Chains A and B, each alone.
Chain A
C-alpha cells in the first residue's frame, strides 16, 4: 500500500508557525513537522497532545529522592555510623541537614538521566538507527511540513504557496 504526501519546505520558523496555523485552520491534517531546532509553540499550533514528560520527570525525581534517602540511611546510619564533626550519627532525622545536598543531587541525577532514556524510547531512537528524516536540509536550516494528500492536491498546493513555502514536492510514500 502506498500513499501520497506533500512536503512543504520553509526557511523561517515564524513563517512556518503561521503556515501551520493556516493549514490547520483549513482543516488539513499535518502528519509531521521536521525542524532543525525546537520551535516554540509549534506543538500547540499542530494540536498535539500535551507531553507527559513533566509527569515522568516528577516521578523520576521522587524515585531519586527515595533512593538517596534509603542509600544514605543504609551507609551512614545503619551499616557504618561514623563520628564526623561530632554530628549525631545514629539518627537520620537529626543528621538530615548534612544529607540535603546528596538528596538534591540524586533527585536531579535520576530525573535527568531517566528522562533522556524515556525520551529516546518514546521517540523510538537508538544508536545506529537509520534517520527517518525525509530531507537532510531539515537538519541544517530548513523546516519541512508533511501533509498526507487525498485526491486532488491543487488547492492544498495553492494554500501552501500562499503561506510562504519555498519548495513543494509530492512524494509517493510506501509503507
Chain B
C-alpha cells in the first residue's frame, strides 16, 4: 500500500495556497472601467500605434472578426471606428484574463486525467500484457476526474450566468434587428444555447465520473475475486467506455474549447485536442510511475515498462503533429476567410511565438530526444523530455483558448502562473490520494506474470 508522504502533501498544499493567492491577485487587479484599463495597460499594449493597428484589423475583417471574441455583432464595428466601443471591448478582454487563466489549467488537468482513463481502458480492451504492473498508477492518475470536472462545471455555470465573457456566443442574438445580432448563430443557435450547453456539460461530467467509478470498482473487485468475472466485466466496461468517450469527446471539445471561437469550425478539432491531451496523459503516467518507482513502491516496474511509455510519448507526439498539420494545411490551402481568421492571431499575430514554439516543443524535441531506444530506458531522460512535452501541450491549450477570450493582449503573469500552480497542487493531491486507496500491485490480474517478466 502506498502512503501519501507528508512532504508531498505539504508541497501540494503549498502549491494550492500559492496558486490561490495568485488567482486572487488576478481578480483583484482586474480593471473595472475603461480608464482603469488604460491606466494599467498604457505602458505595454494600449499605445496609440497598437490601438490604430487593431482597429484597422477590426474594420477590415468585418465578416469574421468576432472570432477574436467580439462581445457585440459584426455590424457593431464594421461601419464606424467607434473608439469608445473598441475600448470597451479591450476592457472586456482584460476582464476575461483571470477567468481565462483559471479555465486553461482547469481544462488541461481534467483532460489529462480523463485521457489517462482512456489509456487505461485501451490496455483493458486490448488485454495488453505489458502494462498490468502500471494499472494502479493509471487508476491513480484518473483520481482527478471527479474534482476536476466539478470545477470545470462550476466555471461553465459562471460563464452561462454571464459572470464572464469567455464564450462570446452567449452574448449574441439571432434577431437581425438586435444590436448583438450574429449572422453565424442563425444556423448554430439550436446547438449553442445556454440550457442545452449546460445540459450537455453535465452529461459529459456524469459519464466520465460514472465510468471511472465502475471501472475502478471492478478493478478493485479483481483483488478479492477467485474467478475471472471482474476481469471480463472490466473488459466490457472499457470497450463501452471507449466508444462512449470517442462520441462524447467530440462534443466536449466542440463545446468547451471550439465554441470559444464560435465562427470558426474544424471537424478535426476534437481529435486534435484528444491527441494533445492523450500524449500529456501518458507523460503524466510516466512521471508518476518514475516517482513511485524511485520511492520504492513499484518493485516490479522495470526499465522496459518505462521504455514502453516512452515509445507511446514518442508515437503520440508524432500523431499530434500529424493532426496539427492536417488541420493547418487544409485551411492554409483553401484560404477561406472564415477559416483563416482563426489562424491569423495564432500564426501571424500576437501568438506567433507560442504557436511556433509549441510545435518545436511538441514535435521536433520529442522526435530527436525520444527516437533512440536506449534513451527511452533512462528515467531522467523521460522526465526531461516529458517536461518539455507537458509544457508544450499546456501552451497548446493556452493558444487554443486565449486568442478567443483575451484577444491579442495575452500575458503570462501572476494570475496565469497562480492558476497553474493551484491546479497542479490540486492534481497532485487528488492523484496521490487516489493512489493510497488500493495496493499498487494488482496481483490478481491474469496478465500480471506476463507484465512482470515483460522485457523489451
Contact = CB atoms under 8 A, between A and B. Distances in A.
Interface of A: 41, 85-87, 97-98, 100-101
Contacts of B333: 85, 87, 97-98
B335 A86 contact: yes
B380 interface: no
B268 to A, nearest CB: 16
Contacts, number: 16
B448 to A, nearest CB: 18
B335 A97 contact: no
A85 B340 CA distance: 15
A100 B359 CA distance: 15
B52 interface: no
B162 interface: no
B328 A97 contact: yes
B455 A97 contact: no
Nearest to B330: A97
B4 interface: no
11 contacts: A41-B455, A85-B333, A85-B334, A86-B335, A97-B328, A97-B329, A97-B333, A98-B333, A100-B325, A100-B329, A101-B329
Contacts of A85: 333-335
Contact of B329 (A41, A86, A98): A98
B332 interface: yes
Report whether over half of chain B's contact residues are helix, strand or loop; otherwise say mixed.
Answer: helix
B193 to A, nearest CB: 37
B305 to A, nearest CB: 16
A101 B332 CA distance: 14
Interface in B275-329: 325, 328-329
Given A85-B335, A100-B325, 12 more contacts: A41-B455, A86-B335, A87-B333, A97-B325, A97-B328, A97-B329, A97-B332, A97-B333, A98-B329, A98-B333, A100-B329, A101-B329
Contacts of B332: 97
B261 to A, nearest CB: 21
Interface in B204-231: none
A21 to B, nearest CB: 12
Contacts of B328: 97
A101 B328 CA distance: 13
Nearest to A58: B371
A87 B329 CA distance: 12
A85 B333 CA distance: 7
A34 B152 CA distance: 59
B146 to A, nearest CB: 40
B136 to A, nearest CB: 27
A117 B248 CA distance: 47
Contacts of A97: 325, 328-329, 332-333
Q: Which of B328, B333, B334, B455 is the most central at the interface, judged by chain A CB atoms within 10 Å of its CB? A: B333
A97 B333 CA distance: 8
Which 5 interchain pairs have the tightest Cβ spacing?
A97-B329, A97-B332, A85-B333, A41-B455, A100-B325
A170 B333 CA distance: 69
Interface in B431-456: 455
A105 to B, nearest CB: 13
A113 to B, nearest CB: 21
A86 B329 CA distance: 14
Contacts of A100: 325, 329
Interface string B225-259: 00000000000000000000000000000000000
A102 B322 CA distance: 14
A164 B328 CA distance: 58
Contacts of B329: 97-98, 100-101
A111 to B, nearest CB: 13
A172 to B, nearest CB: 38
A131 B333 CA distance: 53
Nearest to A100: B325
A86 B333 CA distance: 9
A49 B455 CA distance: 19
Nearest to A87: B333
Interface in B319-364: 325, 328-329, 332-335
A98 B325 CA distance: 10
Nearest to A85: B333
Contacts of A86: 335
B304 to A, nearest CB: 11
A97 B325 CA distance: 8
A85 B329 CA distance: 13
Which of A41, A97, A100, A101 neighbours the largest number of chain B CB atoms within 10 Å of its CB? Answer: A97
A85 B330 CA distance: 12
A102 to B, nearest CB: 12
A114 B79 CA distance: 62
A41 B453 CA distance: 13
Contacts of A87: 333
A20 to B, nearest CB: 14
Contacts of B335: 85-86
Nearest to A101: B329
Nearest to A98: B333
A97 B327 CA distance: 11
Contacts of B334: 85
A85 to B, nearest CB: 6
B130 to A, nearest CB: 12
A45 to B, nearest CB: 10
A97 B329 CA distance: 6
A63 B286 CA distance: 34
A98 B329 CA distance: 7
B373 to A, nearest CB: 8
A41 B455 CA distance: 8
Interface string B88-111: 000000000000000000000000
